[in-house]
Amino acid sequence: MWFRRDLRLADNPALLDALSEGAGETVGLFVIDPTLWRTSGDVRRAWLIGSLNALSESLDGRLLIRTGDPESVVPDVAREYAARTVHIAADFGPYGRKRDLAVAKALGGNGTELRETGSAYAVSPGRVLKSDATPYLVFTPFYRAWSTHGWRRPVAAPAGPMPLLDPSGSEPLPAAPELGRTVLPPMGEAAATLIWDGFRKSRLAHYATQRDRPDQSGTSALSAHLKWGEIHPRTLLADLGSGAGDDAFRRQLAWRDFYADILARHPGSARNDLRPNLSHVTTDAGPTAEARLLAWQSGLTGYPIVDAGMRQLRSQGWMHNRVRMITASFLIKDLHLPWQVGARHFMHWLRDGDLASNQHGWQWVAGTGTDAAPYYRVFNPITQGLRFDPSGDYVRRYLPELGTLTGASAHEPWKLAGVVPFGYPERIVDHGVERTESLRRLRAN
């Protein structure tokens, strides 16, 4: 059983297949792939190590760790243990797809099969199709068809003591990187299950009305657990009922499947516009653009909701969805920088950094993605702050400089006697001016 983004025992059909075929001789393998390790930020590396420690513990330490290119490591391990089959859950990302094809070919040379069972999605990419068998590019009809398509019931975790071989020659896991001021919550399957149970009991009922409020803990905070497969979306879906909160939550899980479906069909959209409709819009470069980018990355733009979001990202490796949209819009529409620059920064810092959801979340804001927000929509960072953080609690939590400002006044610190509080920057751009400039550039496209 080659674990990848499915670091759990419950509802893991590939693991069950491996155990039943292996009849007491199954080996559990995780490969630290230098290519993926190198391109991840420290936050995601730390999460992976925490999650692997948790998995290894639940396998009574019987997880074989090897480092290297899976194309050679997996066939080597298969040979070592005379494996007939290597079981995996399918990966649909551009890198994973290519890697798995190469591994399947290398294994085939030894007469070993690479067998895919299930994936990280409720409905795997490629399955939700229009009546003429073509794919959807718009979310709402995809969502309807996805709901009708349905998904299997979750399967139970293997019962009793784990019938895995005690592997020899396992490498120690790399040490988790030192994260400085970024603090991560507990990782692993048990943590994910606990979070889900708590969310379901106390917050799911209010999810539809609270999910847009960054000042409240209205969302599940399960994204990183889902990314590493510590819990499967099918497990969550099986627990949902018909309330408004349940419906809203189901819809968000469908976005995750939708973006994976889009990326699987259009691997190039990880780097380039999905739709080249805005390819002539000019973006800024040079020293001023670089200084503005640095201010955005550091949470020093002078716009409290933007700065709070960017500092939440650094302190937790996570940002509230509404604030992801506001900060993304600010980078693209107020600073006139390419979405790819912001997406790269998010991928570096996010503990849930996921190519499909991140690159298409950014393109939703940029107006180049699927059923995008109209390209001319420009989020106003002041009114968004006042609307979704009405008491100013969210911005004060991440911006200690504004700690003395009461209520909503924290969203407009410059209004106070004409000076901004000590240590908080002046606004780096005038939103009104940049909004007009953004629309001018879009019209000139």
Ligand X SMILES: Cc1cc2nc3c(=O)[nH]c(=O)nc-3n(C[C@H](O)[C@H](O)[C@H](O)COP(=O)(O)OP(=O)(O)OC[C@H]3O[C@@H](n4cnc5c(N)ncnc54)[C@H](O)[C@@H]3O)c2cc1C
Interacting residues toward ligand X by CB under 6 A:
211, 219-223, 226-227, 252-253, 255-256, 259, 321, 324-325, 328, 346, 350, 352-354, 357-358, 361-362, 365
The structure tokens 């699927």 sit at 370
Minimal distance in Å, beta carbon 424 to ligand X? Answer: 25
Instruction: Determine contact, residues 408/329, Cβ cutoff 8 Å.
Output: no
CA dist., res. 242 & res. 51, Å (int): 32
**Residues 6 or more apart whose Cβ sits within 8 Å of residue 144:** none
CB of 343 closer than 8 Å to CB of 356: no
Residues 46, 179: contact at Cβ < 8 Å?
Answer: yes
**Closer residue to ligand X (CB): 13 or 41:** 41
CB of 236 to ligand X, least distance (A): 8
Question: For residues 358 and 384, which CB has a smaller minimum distance to ligand X in the complex?
Answer: 358
Cα–Cα distance for residue pair 29/62, rounded to 1 Å: 9
- Side-chain-side CA neighbours of 116 within 13 Å: the count stands at 13
Nearest distance from residue 306's CB to ligand X, in Å? 13
Which residue's beta carbon is nearest to the bound ligand X? 361
Closest by Cα among 401, 434, 192 to 335: 434
Query: With respect to ligand X, which residue has the nearer C-beta, 270 or 365?
Result: 365
Output helix, strand, coil percentages for the chain, rounded to the nearest 5. 50, 5, 40
Q: How far is the CB of 277 from ligand X (least distance, A)?
A: 19
Q: Which residue has the tokens 């290894």?
A: 56
Q: How far is the CB of 353 from ligand X (least distance, A)?
A: 5
Specify whether the CB–CB gap between 427 and 301 falls below 8 A.
yes
* Residue whose CB is less far from ligand X, 227 or 431: 227
For ligand X, the closer of residues 74 and 306 by Cβ is: 306
Task: Give the nearer residue to ligand X in terms of CB position, either 81 or 199.
Answer: 199
Output the smallest distance, CB 6 to ligand X, in A. Answer: 15
